Structure 1
Amino acid sequence: MTGIAQGTGGGAAGTAGTSRTTGTVAGFLAGLPHGTGIGTGAAPGVPPGADAGFAHGSGIARSYGTGTMAGAAANPGRGAVVGTGTVGARRGGAIHGPGSRDPRVQDVQAAFNAARIAMAVVGRDGRVITANRALGTLLGTDPARLADEAAADLVDLGHDARLWAAYGEVLRGGGEPLRCTRPLKGPDGQSLWTEVTLSSLPDRGNALLSVADITDRRDLQARLRHLQMHDPVTRLPNRALFFERLAAALGPDAYARGGTGRIGLCYLDLDGFKAINDTLGHRVGDELLRAVAQRLVHCADQAGYGRRGGHLVARLGGDEFAILVEDSTGTEQVSALAGSVLAALQQPFDLAGQRLSLSASIGVVERVVAGTSATALMQAADTTLYWAKSDGKARWTLFDPERNAHMITRQALSSMLRPAVERGEFTLEYQPLVGLGDGAVRGVEALVRWRHPQFGMLAPNRFIGLAEEDGSIVELGRWVLETACRQARRWQVEHPEAPPVFVSVNVAVRQVWDSDLVADVARILEETGLPPELLQLELTESAVMGSAGRPLQALQALSEMGVSIAIDDFGTGYSNLAYLSRLPVSVLKLDGSFVRGFQDEEHPNPADETIVEAMVHLAHRLGLTVIAECVESADQAERLRRIGCDTGQGWFYSRPVPPDHIPTLLGGT
């Protein structure tokens, strides 16, 4: 429906009005019947189409059927408006008109101006048509002055490309309402935070802008976040904030902002803190943590690293702390920081009338940001901290990729040990034990090998220690014992013409403690048919030193069964000779370190020969036989024979070989 606007002017003749209709707040917001709106009425005698505000004139206009207001650029059918010049308007829009006789229009005008939330009507060109008093108060100006101002400038939308695009979409009548948070300058010059909303007005072609002051709410949120992201004891950033900052330092924005492109981390744990906390109480422990935090912050501030000072000292929990170094310049810088932290924490703490001392173990990681994840960085830091503690504590240790690769390999091997026994991935090789007097093979030592599907053939030193740590040595040792005994019996049966040879099998400490070794040996000997005198069990000095209770009883039972007991690597452990007289030991195996001293024919070490000769004579006086390991030359073998050693073992005679090679050696070579 189109309409002809009629207005009665209360202003002076000649005061310019406008005949263009823009619609009222009532028309914008309430959709009143007849298209009633707020606008300006033209004073008598003023030519239609004039585009100027007026100061005092007011009038009422309504639509009467069809037609168009002469000279008007208004939307057809929207109705004419009630207008006043007290606020001022552009294109005929006014905010309130005391001369309006329509109560609905007056209600809308009053509500708009009395609203506590700041509002303005914005045209398609982005300029303010009308503004209420709350917006003027918020911006510290008369709302009349806001007419025709660019709305985007009032709420600072033009500096954000994303917001600017969304803003234009709303003005064009499409898209979702724009909602954002913007900082503004208040009337007193102080910064305030606002929540800005811009939404299209249906069928009007304009938009409604609202601005809410959320400064108090934002301050409260900031205080709550600070409490949430900081440790209550030390006031340092906590684990959550640390990982948030770490993720940002490793994120894509880190590349855009420039810098060195590197990152460093000092991950530390207090040595001896638990003892202080347990003995002096948690109150003293908390005071100590606060004092430690102060020293860490001081060290970080003194370092002055990073182009933006991008360091973060955080308490990750318990007595664990971290210092994040953004834009590090290399390992030297982060290592120097770790050194200063270590020195600072080693100074005594005077707390609760007591002087307390502690130290720290620090893992240091420094690397390129590209390709690094937070998980990988923290794993490296945790591993390096473990190294620092295992190396003796009170030190810092730098991440070593080679050492880490070795550790990863160990972990992989450890996890696959038990399944490998079940899958039959282990095999035995045998190394001859040769009589030094006649050169005849007296026995063989069974040496286990792991045919690993990924790493190939592995020697015992690659996995035996792991098997002892996780307990799989019991199952593996039982398999080795049974396989070796079965093979020795097979040689005896298949080669009855050859002198019988004994088989020597290594036994770990955990096999003695964690299994019934005596029962296992008895069962295996019975099942395989191997005579007990053809089985020799080798134990290290540490396994038999101080033996009492179950281990001693087991050794005695095995000896009474007819099994020979040998002490492996003799001379490198406790070297306490007292146990030789009370343990059922029948053989000593001299460690290869003594035999290697015989290699230099031109400049032999007389001390080595004297020590070996003394041990051989002592063993013989106790009724023990002696096996020398690592015999690699004829000269070594001859010198060992001269001083009375009974048996030799080493590459001079044979490397460890598969079981089918042993029969060729049984005749003595």
Structure 2
Amino acid sequence: MSGERLGARGTIFAGDGLASEKCRVLLDGLGEFGAIVVDAETNRILDINTTALALLGAKRDEVIGRDHNQFVSPTGQECSSAADSGKVVDPSEWVLCRSDGTSIPILKSVLQIEVYDRKALLESIVDISDRKKAEENLRRSAFFDSLTGLANRALFVDRLEHCILRAQREKEFLFSVLLLDLDRFKFLNERLGHEVGEQTLVAVADRVKKALRDVDTVAIQTDTTHTLARMGDDKFIILLEGVHRNEDVVRVAQRIQALFDQPLEVNGQEIFTSASVGIATYNKKNTSAEAMLRDADIALYRARNQGRGSYVVFDEVMHAQAVERMTLELDLRRAVEREQFSLVFQPIVSLISDRITGVEALARWKHPERGTMLPKDFIPIAEEIGLIVPIGLFVLREACRQMQLWQEQFPSDPPLTVAVNLSSLQVRQPDLAAKVKDILRETGLAPGSLHLEITESVLLENDRHTVGTLRKLKKQGIRLHMDDFGTGYSSLSYLHQFPIDVLKVDRTFIKKLNEDSGKSGLVGSIMAMARNKGMGVIAEGIETDAQLECLKEMECELGQGFYLARPKKVRAMGKLLSRQNG
């Protein structure tokens, strides 16, 4: 038996490791593929090519004669050994166990051959690590958020649907959904930049995950009983399983909100934020994941309206209100298409001459079923769904057109002016200045006769675009008013950064003007400081003679309020102006 050696269990091997010339040809012919020859009866390795050795990270003498199963293992679906079946095996996924203890995924094909009249198996193997990584990346992109690593909406909905099916089978099983929204994140993102915004989201995700683990209420995404996910933008959502009382869920919501008592550290700076939470607990009426998400979203909307850092538990009353709101949204869209809006005008009066110097244009919605609706009942909705832009342009055009007619009918020196409110969304429109210029040209109204009113929230955004837009409007000759001054966070020292001409002191200060000396002192200080900075002042909400007299003593130039004149339709306003000019 020259040139041969006796292997384990009497298996015959070629002295150089090649079982036969036939094997040599086959192994060499496989080229870049790994190849292993296995004795079909003993499952011992007869030979192996250099490609397979490189994949194993082993030397030939460490492999030849060893049990095949020591190096090649099934992934779970295949049989424990190719030799067990005695048949040709189509390409399937296996695991190659390397000499350093690591493993790599492979694709293995098996072909039956004969070596010295003994049945053998020729395995060709291919490293599919790159393909498996790509598949894993694809899977993660489909079910996990790339920024935070949390489960994404698709995976969350899938787990939520499983909970619903379980609850339908098991009457005692209950679960809840907590939808979190970071307060003022959009402002933070625009003010500090997109990169800081993303890092803030990652910091929030990490803090919530850690807190939920620490309190042993919810595990991270890999836990099969609870799920924390990112729903997109600045919204996160938690699926709490096995809860029995709303009080337990509320405690979790409170614990999460308490996380934001301390600032987040992002890129070397402290970020202060808070979270509003909407809570929906499963009931038999929830037959789909989307229904539960809708309920949580309705509760979240209510929480945001209550103020930053609030939480609300969904109930059926909210559902009815949500249906009502959806109906109103649909009606509002139709109203824009059918131009169901009109204007009323409230006089702005000189407190020195008692003459009307201008008017403020106020929108009214002529709803076909509800009657005339005030701005407070539809403007917030219009802002949320983006309809404030077309509504605002309608109001602006009609106000300018009407004022031009009044100026022709009732000439005065200086001419009458019209004030129109702008929302923050309108100011953020890149073409606002151009649109205003077009409307002035179309209606023939002089730019100096148009006063645009903005709120403090617009200035709080303080981005380049907002400042640039305001300066473009100012350059056209339009005057800018700060509406509701004193209700937000602005200060006169802060206002110098913006081209503001007039401050409108909010009605809350005027209301107790003659009752609260502190209010009187504050209004007096505002007027004095405004004059020093070259700004005018308009007192809003004058409702009594005592308030009027107090403002006159302070030498306030302009006033507006029900005591002076209520908002009037076009014809009534025309008659008032006619009497003044008569």
Alignment TM class, shorter chain as reference: 0.5 to 0.7
2-structure distance, mates of 1:347, 1:450: 42
1-structure distance, mates of 2:255, 2:460: 43
1-structure distance, mates of 2:488, 2:423: 15
- Superposed displacement of residue 528, structure 1: 1.2
Contact 2:341 2:365 in 1 (8 A): yes
- Residue 244 of structure 1 aligns with an amino acid whose one-letter code is L
- Superposed displacement of residue 586, structure 1: 2.1
Sequence identity (%): 33
Q: How does 1:334-483 map to 2 (within 5 A)?
A: 334-339=245-250, 364=279, 379-381=294-296, 383-384=298-299, 397-483=312-398
- Superposed displacement of residue 638, structure 1: 1.0
1:624 aligns with 2:535: yes
1:662 aligns with 2:564: no
Match of 2:163 in 1: 242
The 1:435/1:365 distance shift into structure 2, 3 A limit, reads: same
Contact 2:450 2:479 in 1 (8 A): yes
- Residue 423 of structure 1 aligns with an amino acid whose one-letter code is R
The 1:579/1:279 distance shift into structure 2, 3 A limit, reads: closer
Q: How does 1:72-83 map to 2 (within 5 A)?
A: none
- Of the candidates 522, 525, 528, which is equivalent to residue 614 of structure 1? 525
1:542 aligns with 2:452: no
Match of 2:556 in 1: 645
- Superposed displacement of residue 623, structure 1: 2.6
The 1:406/1:653 distance shift into structure 2, 3 A limit, reads: farther
Alignment size in residue pairs: 385
The 1:492/1:546 distance shift into structure 2, 3 A limit, reads: same
Q: How does 1:287-298 map to 2 (within 5 A)?
A: 295=217
User: Could you report, residue by residue, the CA deviation over 1:137-166 in whole angstroms, capped at 9, with x for unpaired residues?
Assistant: xxxxxxxxxxxxxxxxxxxxxxxxxxxxxx
**1:638 is paired with a residue of what secondary structure?**
helix
The 1:341/1:488 distance shift into structure 2, 3 A limit, reads: closer
2-structure distance, mates of 1:579, 1:570: 12
The 1:387/1:461 distance shift into structure 2, 3 A limit, reads: closer
Match of 1:266 in 2: 176
- Residue 559 of structure 1 aligns with an amino acid whose one-letter code is K
Contact 2:358 2:416 in 1 (8 A): yes
- Superposed displacement of residue 517, structure 1: 2.5
- Structure whose residues are more often strand by fraction: 2
2-structure distance, mates of 1:240, 1:549: 45
1-structure distance, mates of 2:496, 2:426: 23
- Superposed displacement of residue 657, structure 1: 1.6
Contact 1:440 1:668 in 2 (8 A): yes
Which is worse superposed, 433-442 or 333-342? 333-342
**2:245 is paired with a residue of what secondary structure?**
helix
The 1:551/1:390 distance shift into structure 2, 3 A limit, reads: closer
The 1:668/1:379 distance shift into structure 2, 3 A limit, reads: same
Which is worse superposed, 372-381 or 437-446? 372-381
Contact 2:486 2:506 in 1 (8 A): yes
Contact 1:585 1:624 in 2 (8 A): yes
- Of the candidates 445, 449, 459, which is equivalent to residue 530 of structure 1? 445
- Superposed displacement of residue 448, structure 1: 0.9
Larger Rg: 1
Match of 1:510 in 2: 425
The 1:385/1:657 distance shift into structure 2, 3 A limit, reads: closer
**2:348 is paired with a residue of what secondary structure?**
strand
- Residue 421 of structure 1 aligns with an amino acid whose one-letter code is V
1-structure distance, mates of 2:212, 2:497: 57
Contact 1:364 1:399 in 2 (8 A): yes
Contact 2:218 2:226 in 1 (8 A): no
1-structure distance, mates of 2:340, 2:566: 21
**1:637 is paired with a residue of what secondary structure?**
helix
The 1:267/1:452 distance shift into structure 2, 3 A limit, reads: same
- Residue 320 of structure 1 aligns with an amino acid whose one-letter code is I
The 1:645/1:633 distance shift into structure 2, 3 A limit, reads: same
Contact 1:432 1:445 in 2 (8 A): yes
The 1:416/1:292 distance shift into structure 2, 3 A limit, reads: farther
- Residue 633 of structure 1 aligns with an amino acid whose one-letter code is T
Contact 2:298 2:322 in 1 (8 A): no
User: Could you report, residue by residue, the CA deviation over 1:447-468 in whole angstroms, capped at 9, with x for unpaired residues?
Assistant: 1122233443222223323333
Which is worse superposed, 409-418 or 441-450? 409-418
- Superposed displacement of residue 555, structure 1: 3.0
Contact 1:265 1:334 in 2 (8 A): no
Match of 1:562 in 2: 477
1-structure distance, mates of 2:225, 2:395: 53
The 1:436/1:395 distance shift into structure 2, 3 A limit, reads: closer
- Of the candidates 493, 498, 501, which is equivalent to residue 408 of structure 2? 493
Which is worse superposed, 375-384 or 528-537? 375-384
- Superposed displacement of residue 569, structure 1: 1.3
Task: Give the TM-score, by structure 1 length.
Answer: 0.49
Q: How does 1:130-209 map to 2 (within 5 A)?
A: none
- Superposed displacement of residue 365, structure 1: 5.0
Contact 1:271 1:393 in 2 (8 A): no
Contact 1:450 1:458 in 2 (8 A): yes
Match of 1:178 in 2: none
Contact 1:597 1:608 in 2 (8 A): yes
**1:503 is paired with a residue of what secondary structure?**
strand
2-structure distance, mates of 1:581, 1:347: 37
User: Could you report, residue by residue, the CA deviation over 1:428-450 in whole angstroms, capped at 9, with x for unpaired residues?
Assistant: 11111111122211111001122
Contact 1:296 1:341 in 2 (8 A): no
Contact 2:218 2:227 in 1 (8 A): no
Which is worse superposed, 431-440 or 401-410? 401-410
- Superposed displacement of residue 337, structure 1: 3.2
2-structure distance, mates of 1:343, 1:545: 28
- Residue 167 of structure 2 aligns with an amino acid whose one-letter code is L
Q: How does 1:321-340 map to 2 (within 5 A)?
A: 321-323=239-241, 334-339=245-250
Greater RCO, 1 or 2 (C-alpha within 8 Å, sep 6+): 2
1-structure distance, mates of 2:229, 2:312: 21
- Residue 441 of structure 2 aligns with an amino acid whose one-letter code is E
1-structure distance, mates of 2:494, 2:309: 38
The 1:388/1:493 distance shift into structure 2, 3 A limit, reads: closer
Contact 1:338 1:362 in 2 (8 A): no
Contact 1:590 1:629 in 2 (8 A): yes
The 1:322/1:385 distance shift into structure 2, 3 A limit, reads: farther
Contact 1:264 1:365 in 2 (8 A): no
**2:365 is paired with a residue of what secondary structure?**
strand
**2:568 is paired with a residue of what secondary structure?**
coil
**1:651 is paired with a residue of what secondary structure?**
coil
**1:463 is paired with a residue of what secondary structure?**
helix
**2:428 is paired with a residue of what secondary structure?**
helix
The 1:425/1:239 distance shift into structure 2, 3 A limit, reads: same
**Which stretches in structure 1 are left out of the alignment for 5+ residues?**
1-232, 298-311, 326-332, 349-358
Contact 1:592 1:630 in 2 (8 A): yes
RMSD: 4.6
- Superposed displacement of residue 656, structure 1: 1.4
The 1:668/1:633 distance shift into structure 2, 3 A limit, reads: farther
